[in-house]
Structure 1
């Protein structure tokens, strides 16, 4: 398994579902910082490389694959999957988690002021993700669909460079990083989502919900940053070359 140490986290995360579980366990960021090699990430996180390699090896030996081979999906298929799976999940979870952060902060914030900070940061996460998903669904994803249809048909389309897909993609990547940073701050404030012994049922439920939400966000961002965006950009470059050839 020594050869794994030089592979990038983003690529390793696609091999098997259990790989992501190992990364989550050791807090190895495979989405916003997925360009790092496994060895680099372990060093920066202060995690023993050999321990991680052993656990990754165990996961790779297990039978069973992901139900979906994301690497084989087209940009349009990835957009549809992200909307159906991750965007739907976010919209379903936001109201409940928001209600729980507010309830727990109101009831226990006097003795545990960090709960009020968590509620404030969660509100930012919720607001940012709602706006982010709308931009993707109404601007970026339709543009990706247009690019792929031109690519598949061998056609070109007239577009000034300042309107290229790379511009909204950069914005989406920046927003991914911001949301990831906010969730990392929440994780730190919760002590890795570990409630105190005296925590009430809602408090315990909240921390469980936040942990699940962050893990889904990691998978969500990973699919966009390291599969959807690169594939869309590659197609756009091909379409642009076709456009330039027509112009010449």
Structure 2
């Protein structure tokens, strides 16, 4: 039997989304880097695994139905991702760009890292806009066709990209790129900590960046660790029937 220490970070979060808060607190990546064991993740983060394990054990291990994403149908999960996470990015991206430009314009002469932060914010906003369109127009509709095929006992519908694995691989690479941009922003901003005496706009900007990163981590987790593996498994199952 696999011990908790041997299980991957992604598996634990998939089973109970509340575990994401524990990993986040300790600086452990549970989305893009979630494929490693808890032991290895603790080694990388330089934390005592016993402390982390104790916190995980104390979580309520029965996830509430509203966040038991692992039990959801894939078509329902894709709609959730669009309506919650894609919508969040679309609504908050203009605000982030405005904050980044304003704060850099006013305070960039003193805090020189703000120019790079503004550039990185522009990069991640543009990258996510293009990324989400690909998912909404290409990948997610095909996943819904797979679900429909299984429900109706039909064959896998023909597609120009060969297999669902191809767009999934591209989406995972783009997730990694977006995650890396946010890691750079976090580093430059001292984990979104505004300087002493910062104005309200400065503070609001860093708070929004922190919120944006948390949403991105949850967003990527749902896709990399739940939606994509299940879509690959479903396509394989249908082709073998």
Residue 111 of structure 1 corresponds to which residue in structure 2? 110
| Aligned structure 1 segments of 4 or more residues deviating by more than 6 angstroms | none
Residue 134 of structure 1 corresponds to which residue in structure 2? 133
TM-superposed deviation, 1:147: 1.4
Does residue 170 in structure 1 map to residue 169 in structure 2? Answer: yes
TM-superposed deviation, 1:159: 3.3
Residue 189 of structure 1 corresponds to which residue in structure 2? 188
- Could you list the runs of 5+ residues in structure 1 that have no partner in the other structure? 243-248
Judge which range, 18-27 or 116-125, deviates more: 18-27
Does residue 23 in structure 1 map to residue 23 in structure 2? Answer: yes
- Could you list the runs of 5+ residues in structure 2 that have no partner in the other structure? none
User: What TM-score comes out, normalization by structure 1 length?
Assistant: 0.92
State the alpha-carbon separation in 2 of the partners of residues 66 and 24 from structure 1: 22
Aligned 8 A contact 1:183 1:214 in 2: yes
| CA 152–40 in structure 1, closer or farther in 2 if over 3 Å, else same | same
User: What TM-score comes out, normalization by structure 2 length?
Assistant: 0.94
Coordinate RMSD, CA, aligned: 1.8
| CA 64–70 in structure 1, closer or farther in 2 if over 3 Å, else same | closer
Aligned 8 A contact 1:105 1:119 in 2: yes
State the alpha-carbon separation in 1 of the partners of residues 19 and 145 from structure 2: 34
Residue by residue over 1:73-92, the C-alpha shift from the partner in whole angstroms, topping out at 9 and shown as x without a partner, is 11111101101111111111
Aligned 8 A contact 2:14 2:225 in 1: no
Judge which range, 10-19 or 129-138, deviates more: 10-19
Aligned 8 A contact 1:16 1:66 in 2: no
Count of residues in Structure 1 that have an aligned counterpart in Structure 2: 240
TM-superposed deviation, 1:64: 6.5
State the alpha-carbon separation in 1 of the partners of residues 188 and 51 from structure 2: 27
Residue 245 of structure 1 corresponds to which residue in structure 2? none
Judge which range, 106-115 or 6-15, deviates more: 6-15
TM-superposed deviation, 1:137: 0.2
State the alpha-carbon separation in 1 of the partners of residues 113 and 154 from structure 2: 55
State the alpha-carbon separation in 2 of the partners of residues 19 and 232 from structure 1: 24
State the alpha-carbon separation in 2 of the partners of residues 33 and 178 from structure 1: 12
Residue by residue over 1:147-193, the C-alpha shift from the partner in whole angstroms, topping out at 9 and shown as x without a partner, is 11112212114637952111000000000000000000000000011
Does residue 239 in structure 1 map to residue 227 in structure 2? Answer: no
1:60 match: secondary structure: coil
State the alpha-carbon separation in 2 of the partners of residues 196 and 48 from structure 1: 30
